[in-house]
Each structure stands twice: as C-alpha cells, then as structure tokens.
C-alpha cells in the first residue's frame, strides 16, 4: 500500500472525505438541480401608455349628434373592402311632431334589402337606464373626444324588403278625407260595434241624407212632436246672461228663490265649523282673519238660542270668508291679505272648477261676477234678505255703485231708511231686462 492509499484509509477511519469524493457529490447535486429546474417564460412587454386629453362635446341645437346602429342579422357593411362600394346611409326625421321621430336606413348597393332602425319602435321604446356616448381618439393631437348619441338611442337595424318600405311611405303620404274616415268608422261599427252604436250610426246616416225627401219628411214629423220647455229655456238664458247661482223663478219666499242647499252642499257643512268652534272656546273673531262683514255680525250668533240655527249662520259666515279669500288669492290687490288663509280642500277644488280657468291663474271677468253673485246671495241669507252693502263692498274691494248693479242682477230692490241703503229680495224674482241703445 502506497502513501496515497494509506492516507485515504486513514481519512475513512476518521470519518472524513477526500477531494475526489467531494467533487463527485457536487457534480451529482448540480445535475439533480438542473433536472428539477423549469424554464421560466419570458416576460411580456408592457403596453404603451398614452397621456390623452379627454374633451366632452355637449349637444348643440344647430348640429345633429352622431347616430349608432348595429346589425343583429350579422351583416357587415365593411365586407366589400376598400375596393367595394359602401352602402348608402340616410336619416329621416319628422319635423312636424313635438317628439322628433327618427329613422336610420342603410341600403347596400345592388340589393333589394335594406336595413331600417327607428327611434319610436322596438328596443328604442324600452326604458333607458344609462346614457350612451361615442369616443373618438385623435392620435395627432392626443385628444379623446366624447360625443353623446342622438336622442340617447341605439338603432337596431332590421332587414326589410325595399319595395314594401316604399309602399308604406306612399301610403303614409296619402291623405284621408272626411268621407273616407266616416266610411272607415261606419265599417268598424258594423263589424265590431255594439247594438247602441249601430242604432246611433243608422240615425246619423238617416240625418245625413239631405237629398232624401222621405228622411226629411220623417225629420219634420219628429220635430213637430218635440215639446219645448219654454221656462227651462228662459232659465238657461238668464243664467248665461246674468251669471247668477241656481234659482227658482217661481219661488214664493226669498229662502226658496236661492236655495241654500244648492250653494252649500251636504258634505261641505262639516268643513265650515271654524267660527262655531271659536265661539264655543270663548275666542274672538279677528278682522285680520275674517272679512268685516263677518266681524260686524258676530253679535248675531251670540243672541241665537237654537244651536242648529246658530251653527247654520256660522257656516254661512265661514263660506263667505272662503269665497272672499279665494277671490283675493287670485287678484293683485288682495293677494297679501289672503296669503296665510287656508281653504278646505273640498271647497278649494270646488272653487277651482267653478270660478277659475286652467289657462290662466287670474280669474276672468265672468268668473269674478259669478263669485260675487254667490257672496251676495249668502249675505242676503245671513241678513234675512235685507242687507246693507257697505261692508261687503269693502271686503270685495268694490265701490257701492258697482256692487249695486250686481244686487240688481240677482233681482234685488234698493230702499233707504234713515239715510242707510238696504238691498232686499222680493219674490217672485224679476230680473232686469237687457237695455237696448237707441239708434240715432
């Protein structure tokens, strides 16, 4: 055994390793690590970031915003390529309607089919829960322009045969005359109408036969058998001319001439208890909240022993108050005094339907005259049909001379007692006749 072998044997005895054994182990470990290692993929390049300026362009009335349409059928307008002919695009708009209905039409070249999308049918009529816009990026200026879509609608372009579309357009342009409309309505009544509508249609058809002598003879006989109620006709004429509440011209007492139940309806009495409740609680009726006519006659309520009679007179005073305040609310000079006054809803709706007009907030002259007539009739009921017009003229912001004309149109007569003017209501009612001017 040489020296190297003796040294290696000595190393093994002492538990050590030789340099050769260490190198072998290191090579083995490197080989194992190389086998276990996996090749990692190369990292993807990061996308190029662009700093762009976003510019929102609002809708302009003089310019039409862009329209967006899509083809659910799968048609691609760019299939022709650069050399192919592009389809023709047209936009129709109805300028006569308040709602500008739009129609987008895409017509491919050399084809009998065109694609039509409307803003008044299909998906366009569904509720819109979001807003749509189109973004256009300009690479040169690095600007992203955002433009809203026209009418916030996206058009669904459905295929349609071009010949049928033209026929529909021509049918829409054709005007329907009155005779055609009447014939169409008569045909519908005949097919789907009720027995009542059929009877009415036959009567109208018979009346429209102007050149038919038999129908004219039947009409003349029917007119002879009609009874004319002259009294009702005179009453209607007087109401339209005099502009007064409902009345009974043949009444024998003033209470029946202008019935109170025709002015204050049955369901309204429960909403007129404010003055009665104030007196029951021991409070005073102030001139700021109530007209002078009512304040000057509160002492009458205190002298009435019958509770039902006292409540009726208090309700009349309250109704007069609401009428006067309603007139002030719709006038320029009295709006401030009636600003804090509250009229019950049932009465306010009644006053609006009877005295006001929907077109204007201010009352017309005819409606003001009718309202004044209601107030004066109630003052007659409150004063036992013998009243002094001084205080109510002040409440209505009128002169006594003008108010006297209103009393006379109700059928009242005037008399003086100790230099005090009183208006009374004689029966039966006699309305003033219309004065005719003399011709010169």
Distance CA 16, CA 151 (A): 91
> Across residues 311-337, what is the average pLDDT?
88
Label residue 378 by pLDDT band (50, 70, 90).
very high
Distance CA 7, CA 294 (A): 140
Distance CA 339, CA 331 (A): 11
pLDDT of residue 374: 95
- Assess whether pLDDT exceeds 90 at residue 419: no
- Assess whether pLDDT exceeds 50 at residue 167: no
Q: State the SS3 of the chain.
A: CCHHHHHHHHHHHCCCCCHHHHHHHHHHHHHHHHHHCCCCCCCCCCCCCCCCEEEECCCCCCCCCCCEEECCCCCCCCCCCCCCCCCEEEEEECCCCCCCCEEEEEECCCCCEEEEEECCCHHHHCCCCCCCEEEEEECCCCEEEEEECHHHCEEECEEEEHHHHHHHHHHHHCCCCHHHHHHHHHHHHHHHCCHHHHHHHHHHHHHCCCCCHHHHHHHHHHHHHCCCCHHHHHHHHHHHHHCCCCCCCCCCCHHHHCCHHHHCCHHHHHHCCHHHHHHHCCCCCCCCCCCHHHHCCHHHHHCCCCHHHHHHHHHHHHHHHHHHHHHHHCCCCCCCCCCCCCCCHHHHHHHHHHHCECCECCCCHHHHHHHHHHHHHHHHHHCCCEECCHHHHHHCCCCHHHHHHHHHHCCCEEEEECCEEEEECCCCCCCCCCCCCCCC
- Assess whether pLDDT exceeds 60 at residue 307: yes
> Across residues 389-403, what is the average pLDDT?
91
Label residue 372 by pLDDT band (50, 70, 90).
very high
pLDDT of residue 33: 57
pLDDT of residue 314: 93
pLDDT of residue 237: 46
Give tens-digit pLDDT for 28-82.
Answer: 666 665 555 555 566 777 777 888 888 888 887 777 788 888 888 888 887 765 5
Token pair for 38: 């996996």
Give tens-digit pLDDT for 235-265.
Answer: 444 444 567 898 988 888 999 999 999 999 9
Give tens-digit pLDDT for 100-151.
Answer: 778 888 888 877 888 888 887 777 777 777 788 888 888 888 898 888 887 6
Mean pLDDT, the chain, rounded, equals: 78
- Which one is predicted more confidently, 206 or 413? 413
pLDDT of residue 236: 46
pLDDT of residue 394: 92
CA distances from residue 127 to 122, 130, 153, 321, 393 in whole angstroms, order as listed = 11, 9, 10, 49, 57
> Across residues 222-234, what is the average pLDDT?
60
């Amino acid at each position: 055994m040489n020296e190297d072998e003796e040294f290696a044997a000595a190393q093994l005895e002492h538990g050590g390793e030789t340099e050769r054994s260490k190198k072998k182990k290191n090579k083995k470990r490197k080989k194992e690590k190389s086998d276990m290692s996996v090749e990692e993929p190369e990292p993807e390049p990061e996308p190029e970031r662009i700093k762009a300026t976003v510019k929102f362009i609002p809708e302009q009335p003089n310019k039409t915003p862009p329209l967006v349409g899509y083809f659910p059928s799968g048609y691609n307008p760019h299939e022709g390529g650069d050399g192919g002919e592009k389809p023709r695009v047209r936009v129709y708009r109805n300028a006569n309607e308040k709602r500008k209905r739009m129609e987008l039409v895409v017509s491919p070249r050399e084809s009998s089919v065109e694609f039509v999308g409307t803003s008044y049918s299909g998906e366009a009529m569904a509720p819109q829960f979001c807003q749509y816009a189109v973004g256009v990026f300009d690479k040169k200026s690095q600007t992203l322009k955002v433009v809203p879509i026209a009418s916030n609608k996206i058009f669904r372009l459905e295929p349609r045969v071009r010949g049928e579309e033209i026929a529909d357009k021509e049918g829409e342009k054709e005007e329907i005359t009155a005779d055609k409309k009447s014939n169409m309505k008569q045909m519908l009544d005949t097919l789907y109408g009720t027995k009542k509508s059929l009877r009415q249609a036959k009567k109208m058809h018979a009346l429209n036969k102007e050149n038919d002598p038999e129908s004219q003879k039947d009409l003349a006989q029917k007119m002879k058998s009609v009874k004319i109620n002259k009294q009702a006709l005179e009453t209607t004429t007087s109401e339209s001319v005099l502009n007064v509440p409902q009345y009974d011209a043949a009444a024998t007492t003033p209470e029946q001439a202008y019935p109170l139940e025709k002015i204050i309806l049955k369901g309204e009495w429960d909403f007129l208890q404010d003055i009665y409740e104030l007196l029951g609680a021991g409070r005073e009726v102030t001139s700021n909240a109530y007209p002078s006519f009512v304040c000057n006659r509160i002492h009458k309520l205190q002298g009435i022993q019958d509770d039902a009679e006292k409540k009726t007179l208090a309700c009349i005073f309250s109704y007069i108050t609401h009428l006067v305040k309603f007139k002030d609310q719709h006038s320029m000079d009295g709006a401030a005094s009636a600003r804090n006054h509250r009229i019950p809803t049932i009465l306010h709706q009644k006053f609006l339907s009877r005295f006001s007009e929907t077109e204007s907030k201010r009352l017309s002259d005819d409606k003001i005259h009718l309202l004044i007539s209601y107030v004066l009739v109630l003052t007659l009921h409150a004063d036992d049909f013998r009243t002094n017009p001084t205080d109510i003229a002040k409440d209505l912001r009128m002169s006594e001379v003008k108010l006297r004309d209103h009393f006379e149109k109700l059928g009242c007569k005037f008399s003086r007692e100790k230099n005090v003017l009183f208006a009374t209501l004689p029966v039966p009612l006699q309305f003033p006749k219309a004065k005719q001017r003399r011709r010169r």
